Amino acid sequence: MSGQLIQFVNCKILRDHKFILDDFWVRDGKIVDPEKVFFDEKIKADKQVDCHGNLIVPGFIDLQINGGFGYDFSTGDTKKALDVVSKGILAHGVTSFCPTVVTSPIEVYHKILPLIRKKKGGKHGAAILGCHCEGPFINVAKNGAHPPECILEYTDGFKSIEETYGDIENINICTLAPEFNNSEEVIKELKKKNIVVSLGHSKANLKDGEEAVKNGATLITHLFNAMLPFHHRDPGLVGLLASDKCDTIYFGIIADNIHTHPAAQRIAYRVCPKGLILVTDAISALGLNEGSHSIGQLKIEIRNKMAFIAGTNTLCGSMACLLECVRLFVEATGCTREYAFEAASLHPAKVLGIENQKGTLNFDSEADFVILDSDLNLVSTWIAGECVYEN
């Protein structure tokens, strides 16, 4: 109801990197400063919600998710996939996400990208922040689950980007390999259009990575995966975490303990905690255990709860939800719960430049939040101050 003032009581709120015991106020989809309510408006809450001592944390933001619940964004009915996945991930505390399209034929981009429009969240599902195009401008030697016959180089600079994607208006993140010719032009042009440049599926050395960051790249796609392994003489893209030639670099971590070993998670956390972002890289098998699945143009088979390209031992995305990644990351690194929650909310909001609206529980920000019990089980998910999922 418009104008309704809701007061959440008996709760612990994550604010300014720590939990505080305080009431939480929401009105018209925004988080309210109670002092203004008490002293300026002199009114009481229209509705009170007892949280029974539970935690309130910012809604999670997943920057890399390929699909879920039997649907893949890169194939089939994209509109149906968006509806099903955006609704399904509410049960995992995700209130905003970037649907990810993997390397595909050019005609697929022209068909699908116009459909992945930004959309506000609500009972229908999590907010769509724009598309994450993972490829096709990647290194075929680090293709992972990307079909090599669809991989391209930007031989004509930014013109190659425009001709391949067609509609770039809905793109929010673009993963590319920075070691190719014309990288400087491409990265600078993408940045001018407010598209986040992420480095991944690459054989780039550290110098290539530093040059890309200088030109405007701000993110690394699923750190450690599909890139040169760390080497003490040339640490590659991993070395950007400790480079003295760039400020904080953000990087995705798939904390499912399959794609990234707990020890590797600890290294990344200790070296560059400000830049760490938890992502799922979830595929169509998210929320399911068995069955026939796909990621883009490739078939998937599930073995021992792990997803592989059919007939190979190549991992091709995760089956873990973001809340599970939060729990596993806390166990793997020993970090505080506060930090892990911010790695799934505040940090992704920062790399997208939306930290004043999402990823925080500061006053006047959007009231997208999650209520969890002390064991980090989801109690409910809220978007714009409305309960959109209740366990």
Q: Read off the pLDDT of each residue in 25-36 and give the average, rounded to a whole number.
A: 93
Complete edge-to-edge strand list for the sheet that includes strand 5-9: 30-31, 24-27, 5-9, 47-50
Q: Which two tokens stand for residue 16?
A: 């300014």
**249 and 227 share a domain?**
yes
- Among residues 62, 208, 256, 281, which one is catalytic? 281
Cα 29 to Cα 275: distance, rounded to the nearest angstrom: 28
**228 and 372 share a domain?**
no
Q: Read off the pLDDT of each residue in 292-301 and give the average, rounded to a whole number.
A: 66
**89 and 173 share a domain?**
yes
Give the predicted TM-score (pTM) of the model.
0.95
Q: Which two tokens stand for residue 287?
A: 């929320």
Considering the chain, what percentage of its residues have pLDDT values greater than 90? Answer: 83
Q: What is the DSSP letter of 59?
A: P
User: How remote is the C-alpha of 91 from its chain's centroid?
Assistant: 16
State the CATH number of the domain containing residue 155. Answer: 3.20.20.140
**366 and 348 share a domain?**
no
Per-residue pLDDT tens digits for 86-98: 999 999 999 999 9
- Cβ distance 12 to 21 under 8 Å? yes
Instruction: Mark the binding-site residues, compressed into ranges.
Output: 134, 145, 201, 222, 225-226, 233, 259, 315-317
Cα 121 to Cα 41: distance, rounded to the nearest angstrom: 29
**181 and 320 share a domain?**
yes
Per-residue pLDDT tens digits for 37-58: 777 777 788 999 999 999 999 9
Q: What is the DSSP letter of 50?
A: E
**Helix 183-192 vs helix 206-215: angle between axes, to the nearest 10 degrees?**
40
Amino acid making up residue 233: R
Please, what is the average pLDDT of the chain?
93
148 contacts: CB under 8 Å, gap ≥ 6: 140
Instruction: Mark the binding-site residues for substrate, compressed into ranges.
Output: 145, 225-226, 233, 259, 315-317
Q: Which two tokens stand for residue 68?
A: 């879920």
**45 and 79 share a domain?**
no
**38 and 100 share a domain?**
no
**24 and 76 share a domain?**
no
Question: Structurally, how many domains does the chain consist of?
Answer: 2
Per-residue pLDDT tens digits for 207-259: 999 999 999 999 999 999 999 999 999 999 999 999 999 888 999 999 999 99
Cα 268 to Cα 254: distance, rounded to the nearest angstrom: 12
**346 and 383 share a domain?**
no
Residue 239, domain extent: 59-352
Place of tokens 């969240």: 121
Instruction: Mark the binding-site residues for Zn(2+), compressed into ranges.
Output: 134, 201, 222
Per-residue pLDDT tens digits for 100-146: 999 999 999 999 999 999 999 999 999 999 999 999 999 999 998 89
Q: What is the pLDDT of residue 70?
A: 87
**216 and 270 share a domain?**
yes
Q: Tell me if residue 50 is catalytic.
A: no
* Residue 385: CB atoms within 10 Å: 20
- Cβ distance 61 to 292 under 8 Å? no
Residue in 100, 94, 104, 97 with CA at minimum distance from that of residue 67? 100
Q: What is the pLDDT of residue 38?
A: 74
**171 and 265 share a domain?**
yes
Q: Read off the pLDDT of each residue in 71-87 and give the average, rounded to a whole number.
A: 93
State the CATH number of the domain containing residue 369. Answer: 2.30.40.10
Strands 24-27, 30-31: pairing kind: antiparallel
Q: Where on the phi/psi map is residue 384: left (φ > 0), alpha (ψ -120 to 50), or beta?
A: left
**333 and 192 share a domain?**
yes
Backbone angles phi, psi at 111, to 5 degrees: -85, -40
